[in-house]
Structure 1
Amino acid sequence: MNSIGKRIGDFFARHRSIGFGLERIGFLTIAHTKLVALLVIAFTALTLSVIPRANVDGDLLRVFANSGPHYDSYAALSESFGTFEEDIYILVTSPTLTEPETLERLRELAFDVELSTYAVGTLSPFSLRAPDGAGGSVPAVPEGMESAEDVRQALSTLQQTDPMMRNLITPDLSGIVIIMFPNAELTRDEGTAGMIADLRAVIAPYQTGDVQIELTGPPVWTSEMLNAAVDDQVKFTVYGFSLGALIALFGLRSFWGAIIVASAPFVAVMWTMGTILLVFGSFSFLTIIVTTVCLVVAFSESMFFTYNWLNFWRDGMDPREAVARTIRQVGPASALTMVTTAIAFGSLGLAPGQGIQEFAMAGVIGSFLTFLVIMTFLPLVLFLAVRLGLKLPKTPSAALTAALPFSWSVVSRFARPLAVVSVVVTTLLLIPYFLIQPRFSFEDFVASDSTAISAAEEIDEGVGGVAPIYVRVPLLDANPDVSDRDYETIRTVHEILEAQLGENKVISAAAMTHYTEGGFSRAEVLSAVGPFMRQRFVTDDGTEALVTGFMPTIVESDRLKQVVADTQQALADAGVVDADVGGFRILTTFATDDIVRNLQLCLTLSVLVNIAVIGFAFRSVRLAMASAIPNLFPILGTEAWLWMSGAGLQLTTVLALTIAFGIAVNDTIHFLSHYLHDRRVEGRDHREAVRHTITRIGGAIVATTIILCAGTAVVAFSELPQVAMFGQLFVLSIALALLGDLFILPALLVAGGRFFDPVRRKAPQVDAKPVEATGQD
């Protein structure tokens, strides 16, 4: 008991390393080389066995699942009525649409689509039937018409009298829309790709010079996003790995040195990908980013480790002993950087949304596995390289150290003014932080070259649009054929929504006035539309009705919010209680606002916790204060750029800022760790310790920054705008962090002078006598 108490006391007192003893993993690798090698090989084999089954879940709802009341409302809506969000829209355009031969050809197309294995129903001018007055129904578009004038007359009449057809027939009669309702059981999991492929095969024979056919709708957009995400993953891994290896080759001026540096990131990515698949079963649009982040972080840490190992070797130390020395000096800082990166990822888990929480968990897993690779696999590779006769490479490229004399010259001459300006500027940058507002744009989630979006925009211009907004209306009389007073309620809601969206942009059970005024009963009209469409107007038990309005595919979030607010106010004024306004676009817009605001709080929490952890790790509030400005500056600077550019805060924007902060702190930790080593162990005075730190590890900081920026810059070329934005902001933040580490942090330390004198006190270190570098068990 006393032993446990003593260990706890030592941990919170001074008898621990800044890495909280996690660097012991590296010493275990040295002491038990063969055992650790077997474990590394076994885990690598396990993760590699899973990777061939890798897949990306294209369900965008996974991002917003369990995010709050807007998601709950959408889930309830889908359960009661189903929605148009899973439907496939087939846009058919032809200058000869009113020719009888063309019309009948398209009737065959609509029939073939309805016969598709994946279809449970369709809606088109050809599927609609009109009551015949004798209790039956006839095709709304008559068969066997003989002249273009007859076709034009039939389509015009249908377009003007039937509310659903107004959204399926273009005003100039040059195009029609066929909506296919998919079988949810067949499209679950990876079935959407099969459905789209089947539909493309169905429509192919009908494509001619005069008839153009395009697919659109959420499943098609999602499929395009999925394909883009998979392409991104391959591109990011290959290009990021290649760039990192080339930079290592250029920096170290050694082919084998570059291979050593690149081997650790390769294994880190394999471990991370395999573990994410084992835990979650698949990647999402967000978790797929984690592998790229782990790739560049692993390159950064591997470069730092190898750079220091080579320095010790050049100092005359035996290369095997240099491995142990590197673990001892760099290992604690690497452990602390893992902790701060994991905290940055983990803080995101406090925000709502299944997708965000999975991203947070995947990031924490990836951070730990990356550190584990550096402490186990990398030392094993170094031992192997030495055994195979690796020769000491040339000194690092002068390009890595070219800026260091300039950095020290500026810091030594202008430390105080530079420190003051840094504090003032960073403080002023808090203003945009509080002014910037969340923004959601649906097109940012869709592949930039999406043909489906182009087709959807054509539908927007010609007919009603493919972005539904729903009002779920409770009914009092529970009549499946809709009682008179329930009908009046539906009609009121219909008119309210139509006032917001425009004439002929709304469908509901109250929209069939042409037929009811012609003497048909509501039961006859609802029966004529077919059972599938009927359930999108009123539930089978008659307790709820649905009023559906169609908005343009691309609509600004502010416009959508205003429509929702005005609709809710009008419903309240009309005395329609308990009506619920919802839909996927409403879910994504409002839930994104909630998630982004929570993520901004997570970013703030991450900053505060990480600064506190740094202070606790170094046992110095003064050093924690010194680390704050150089790490706040790049994040606040990037956020200020977002505010000035009008981009606002988006989902991946805040993710990028939070993760960039967690990683930007890494170089600061390595800088402070080396600075403290110089003061506490080497006995250098304050100013000389700062200069020596810049000279000794400044090249590694430059190299790791280049690797981080170059590796993540690949992400900026993603076909998915949200992912591309992640890459752009990440690169900007890391580039600004380099200025913080080479100029702002040294200036603050030099300007602080006596303020930092207390940190020179030596502190007992864990593992004062490192394990002998025998490379044996």
Structure 2
Amino acid sequence: MWTRLAHFVIKNRLVLVIVLGLITATMGYLGRNVTMTYDFTKVVPESDPDMVYFEEFKQLFGEDGNILAIGIKDSSLYTPTNFLRFKYLSDELAKLEGVNNVLSIPRIQRLKKNTEERKFQLDPFFADIPQDQSTLDSLLALVMEQRFYTGQLINPENGATLILVAINKEVLNSPDRQKLIEDIKYLGDRFAESTQIDVHYAGLPFVRSIMAGKVKKELNFFLVLSVIVTGIILLVFFRSWDAVVFPMLIIGVVVVWVVGTLGIFGFKITMLTGLIPPIIVVIGIPNSIYLINKYHQEFERHGNKMKAISTVTRKIGMVTLITNFTTAIGFLVLATTDIIILKEFGIVAGLNILATFIVSFILIPAVFSWLPSPSKQQMKHLSFKPMDKVLTTFDYWIHNRRRWIYSVTIVVVAVSVYGVMQLKTVSYIVDDIPEDTDIMRDMGFFESNFSGVMPLEVVVDTGKKRGVIRLSNLQKVQQLETFLDSIPEISKPVSLVSFIKAARQAYYNNNPAYYQLPNSMDYNFILQYFRDQSDSSGLLKAFVDSTGQKMRITLKMADIGSVEMDKLIRGTIQPRIDSLFADTEVTATVTGTSPLFVKGNRYLVQNLQMSLILAFIIIAIVMGILFVNLRVVLISLIPNIIPLLITAGLMGYFNIALKPSTSLIFCIAFGIAVDDAIHFLAKYRQELFAHNFFVPIAISRSLKETGTSMMYTSIVLFFGFVIFAGSDFGGTVALGVLTSTTLLIAMFTNLLLLPSLLLTFDDGKRRKDAHPLIEQYDEDFYHETDDEEIDLKRLEVQKQE
């Protein structure tokens, strides 16, 4: 089959290249409107009960993660000049399109009792900013008496204060979000410049927008860097511009196909799918290395260019297809998960890795058939003495020092297993960002002054309409809020209880001593002031549903990590809720972005573990179909499992947590690493038939012919992935460093351990009447001189004008 296919590709190469060009143009057109997503939270499946509940929560009360916080801690803020600028900043922020509301000290209002109309009205503190310090201090003292705001908007102990900016949901999930965040930061920075007061930014809208901007920059940077790095390595290896330009042309075509695939499926660019183009550059190059290296080997043997191209297509085509398939499996298994970002990443990467085979299988033979025959200079790499010396040394160790190879392997595996036992699973909401960045320093500011800004919600369901205004229910909720307020990592709660306590304070002429829930004596009097009260601010609607059955307790918390957050919610808050409402009809449920993050983290790690197991199974089945030899399958998997074990051990020793970004490494690395084993075993099987099933010679010949390509591809993969260490995101750094480390280790295990295991445990006997898939090179698989039996007339092609 591969002989006919080789002849077909060469004979129709011009037509096939034109077809590829048309497909590429179409894919470019389809991908022209692909945009970046501004929602990085698609982790928990939409069908999950907690996610369903969270969506219902947002329908009732609105978004919980739409607040951007601006923090200030400077006594000079409370001077007339700077406070006037502070008010101007707050007012200007409120004017921005996409901002729903702005809450800050200059804009706060207090409830005031209107005895004539028997209702409460809102009275602004700072209709005008006083010009003298004493008047301003008097007003600020009144602000501090408003217990509703202390601990929320201002820290009474050190004077730190916040501006809370509520962003419109539609803007939050659109490209307009980036411009809005930039406008907010511009206003804040202007204020800081004019007052010499430090300004801090935090909140999910801000962090995610900054991350989106960084992701966009990194996509372009790493794509260009991966092309440069792999291009330099190819030039060093092959010493020919032909071997650099045309592989890069292949990669360029596939990168366009990646964007087109996103457009076809309607996917957006995420932090994961954005990494696919540079990953394709790195993974796609080995195809070209194997094809070009084999082409040069064949041409050196007989000097016939067309015969060499045909032989390469027949001999390497099948193996390249299988290796691309196994690499794609490492990605495609991610499509079996319920997690949208992983599913999209797996589908796009897997399909385009398979597409890389198609493009390289057509372009490499076609282009090199048009180019002049390779010169002696271009083939010097075939006798690269340092590489030959390394392979000769490896061959000597395999035949004479196998015990040492096994001993070192056993020791390394044992040490790695101990490291794996130290491995921890933890991640953070604001994760993978270096500690020395402004984002993390600002996060520290909010956590030290306001217990953080990460959203946490508790929904109280009283079970009856208007149940939220029953005094007994309010008292129970207050007990829960008191308990929550006592937890250092959680901010002071805000709920209907807070509003009613503020109303009682207003009822008693804003005396802070009355900031408490009403008692049975004055409760009905205070309720009379709420009758026919309009909620022009919309605040009440944001905390109570339309039936009065459910209420919301809003909190903010520190980003303490998934493990501690899980302990806090499951081990501390939930038991207290259960005990408080045990004998009532009232239920309380913890929800919000923070708890969903904890669950999403568990989902990701579990799904990635299952994907890795699935990849093992599928690749083992593929190897079984290829070789129809259980012993060979087991022998081939061991050298590719050990690098994963070593990497996991290194993570344990260096305290690199197992989290979504690091779990992803194992699926990808295993799918890529096993490619070398397939190339080696394919050649090994052929050499067995060529040398009367004598294993030692078959090992040596296979190592000599495939070893160079294995080392070339491993070096390209190592440097191709290690460039991601320059990222600003810890997850991308981990992906680069750990994947490159795994693949480098896999090179040594496939060059040393795999041949050693074959030499020890494989007797070399094969049935000549059995034809496993790996033998489908051509009709004369068993003969070493099969190249001489090619019908050259079938390779004749018309000269192109």
TM-score (norm 1): 0.90
Deviation at 1:636, TM superposition (A): 1.0
- Deviation string, structure 1 residues 250-307 (Cα, Å, up to 9, x no partner): 1112232232333322322222233233323421111122222221111111111111
Deviation at 1:371, TM superposition (A): 1.2
2:708 maps to 1:708: no
Between 1:486-495 and 1:666-675, the stretch displaced more is 486-495
* Distance change in 2, residues 1:447/1:233 (3 Å): farther
Between 1:727-736 and 1:596-605, the stretch displaced more is 596-605
Tell me the residue number matched to 1:57: 37
Between 1:108-117 and 1:144-153, the stretch displaced more is 144-153
Secondary structure in 1 aligned to 2:199? Answer: strand
| Distance of 1:505 and 1:572 partners within structure 2 | 21
Match of 1:334 among 320, 330, 333: 320
| Distance of 2:378 and 2:597 partners within structure 1 | 54
| Distance of 1:59 and 1:106 partners within structure 2 | 31
Deviation at 1:25, TM superposition (A): 5.9
Match of 2:334 among 348, 359, 364: 348
| Distance of 1:128 and 1:525 partners within structure 2 | 20
Secondary structure in 2 aligned to 1:535? Answer: helix
The percentage of counterpart residues that share the same residue type is 19
Tell me the residue number matched to 1:719: 728
| Distance of 2:8 and 2:457 partners within structure 1 | 61
| Distance of 1:704 and 1:510 partners within structure 2 | 65
Deviation at 1:93, TM superposition (A): 4.5
| Distance of 1:71 and 1:482 partners within structure 2 | 28
Does the CA contact (< 8 Å) of 2:451 and 2:488 recur in 1? no
Tell me the residue number matched to 2:378: 393
* Distance change in 2, residues 1:140/1:446 (3 Å): farther
Match of 1:42 among 22, 29, 37: 22
- Deviation string, structure 1 residues 599-649 (Cα, Å, up to 9, x no partner): 112212212321221121122212101101100010111111112333231
- Deviation string, structure 1 residues 465-499 (Cα, Å, up to 9, x no partner): 21121111113343397332332343233223223
* Distance change in 2, residues 1:503/1:419 (3 Å): closer
Secondary structure in 2 aligned to 1:285? Answer: coil
Between 1:33-42 and 1:82-91, the stretch displaced more is 82-91
State how many pairs are aligned: 754
Deviation at 1:26, TM superposition (A): 5.2
| Distance of 1:661 and 1:775 partners within structure 2 | 41
* Distance change in 2, residues 1:614/1:61 (3 Å): same
* Distance change in 2, residues 1:631/1:747 (3 Å): same
Alignment of 1:158-169 (within 5 A): 158-159=143-144, 161-169=146-154
Does the CA contact (< 8 Å) of 2:637 and 2:674 recur in 1? no
| Distance of 1:730 and 1:667 partners within structure 2 | 15
2:497 maps to 1:510: yes
2:458 maps to 1:478: no
2:230 maps to 1:244: yes
Tell me the residue number matched to 2:346: 360
Does the CA contact (< 8 Å) of 1:54 and 1:283 recur in 2? yes
TM-score (norm 2): 0.87
* Distance change in 2, residues 1:710/1:440 (3 Å): same
2:224 maps to 1:219: no
CA RMSD of aligned residues (A): 2.9
Between 1:418-427 and 1:24-33, the stretch displaced more is 418-427
| Distance of 2:438 and 2:737 partners within structure 1 | 25
- Deviation string, structure 1 residues 549-586 (Cα, Å, up to 9, x no partner): 2212x313222112101111111111265421122122
- Counterpart of 1:138 in structure 2: which amino acid? D
Tell me the residue number matched to 1:137: 122
Does the CA contact (< 8 Å) of 2:421 and 2:652 recur in 1? no
Deviation at 1:90, TM superposition (A): 2.2
Does the CA contact (< 8 Å) of 2:147 and 2:502 recur in 1? yes
Secondary structure in 2 aligned to 1:167? Answer: coil
Match of 1:559 among 564, 569, 575: 564
| Distance of 2:2 and 2:298 partners within structure 1 | 22
2:781 maps to 1:773: no
Tell me the residue number matched to 1:272: 258
Deviation at 1:502, TM superposition (A): 6.6
| Distance of 1:516 and 1:289 partners within structure 2 | 56
Does the CA contact (< 8 Å) of 1:679 and 1:760 recur in 2? no
Match of 1:148 among 122, 127, 133: 133
Match of 1:695 among 704, 723, 728: 704
Match of 1:519 among 493, 507, 512: 507
- Counterpart of 1:353 in structure 2: which amino acid? I
Tell me the residue number matched to 1:7: none
| Distance of 1:440 and 1:669 partners within structure 2 | 36
Tell me the residue number matched to 1:4: none
Alignment of 1:31-180 (within 5 A): 31-50=11-30, 52-66=32-46, 68-134=48-114, 135=119, 136-141=121-126, 143-159=128-144, 161-171=146-156, 174-180=159-165
Deviation at 1:722, TM superposition (A): 1.1
Tell me the residue number matched to 1:322: 308
Tell me the residue number matched to 1:441: 428
Secondary structure in 2 aligned to 1:245? Answer: helix
Structure with the larger RCO, 1 or 2 (CA within 8 Å, 6+ apart): 1
- Deviation string, structure 1 residues 716-755 (Cα, Å, up to 9, x no partner): 211111111111110111011011111110111111242x
- Counterpart of 1:60 in structure 2: which amino acid? F
| Distance of 2:490 and 2:755 partners within structure 1 | 65
Q: Which has the larger radius of gyration?
A: 2
- Deviation string, structure 1 residues 530-554 (Cα, Å, up to 9, x no partner): 53332332123322111122212x3
2:682 maps to 1:660: no
* Distance change in 2, residues 1:571/1:102 (3 Å): same
- Deviation string, structure 1 residues 647-701 (Cα, Å, up to 9, x no partner): 2311021111110000000111111111111113464621111101111121111
Secondary structure in 1 aligned to 2:545? Answer: coil
Deviation at 1:451, TM superposition (A): 2.7
2:650 maps to 1:641: yes
Unpaired runs of 5+ in structure 2? 509-525, 781-789
Tell me the residue number matched to 1:404: 391
| Distance of 1:435 and 1:64 partners within structure 2 | 27
- Deviation string, structure 1 residues 511-531 (Cα, Å, up to 9, x no partner): 242541453736868969853
* Distance change in 2, residues 1:403/1:741 (3 Å): same
- Deviation string, structure 1 residues 108-161 (Cα, Å, up to 9, x no partner): 221221122211212222333212210322114564445434434543553454
| Distance of 1:380 and 1:141 partners within structure 2 | 77
Deviation at 1:30, TM superposition (A): 2.2
| Distance of 1:523 and 1:635 partners within structure 2 | 69
* Distance change in 2, residues 1:394/1:286 (3 Å): same
Does the CA contact (< 8 Å) of 2:82 and 2:195 recur in 1? no
Secondary structure in 2 aligned to 1:648? Answer: coil
Tell me the residue number matched to 1:451: 438
Does the CA contact (< 8 Å) of 1:91 and 1:214 recur in 2? yes
Secondary structure in 1 aligned to 2:42? Answer: helix
- Counterpart of 1:757 in structure 2: which amino acid? K
* Distance change in 2, residues 1:56/1:186 (3 Å): closer
Secondary structure in 1 aligned to 2:354? Answer: helix
2:766 maps to 1:758: yes
Secondary structure in 2 aligned to 1:713? Answer: helix
- Counterpart of 1:77 in structure 2: which amino acid? F
2:752 maps to 1:743: yes
- Deviation string, structure 1 residues 433-491 (Cα, Å, up to 9, x no partner): 57744221233244766534432322222224211211111133433973323323432
- Counterpart of 1:373 in structure 2: which amino acid? V
Deviation at 1:41, TM superposition (A): 0.8
Tell me the residue number matched to 1:584: 593
Between 1:233-242 and 1:484-493, the stretch displaced more is 484-493
Does the CA contact (< 8 Å) of 1:447 and 1:721 recur in 2? yes
Tell me the residue number matched to 1:374: 360
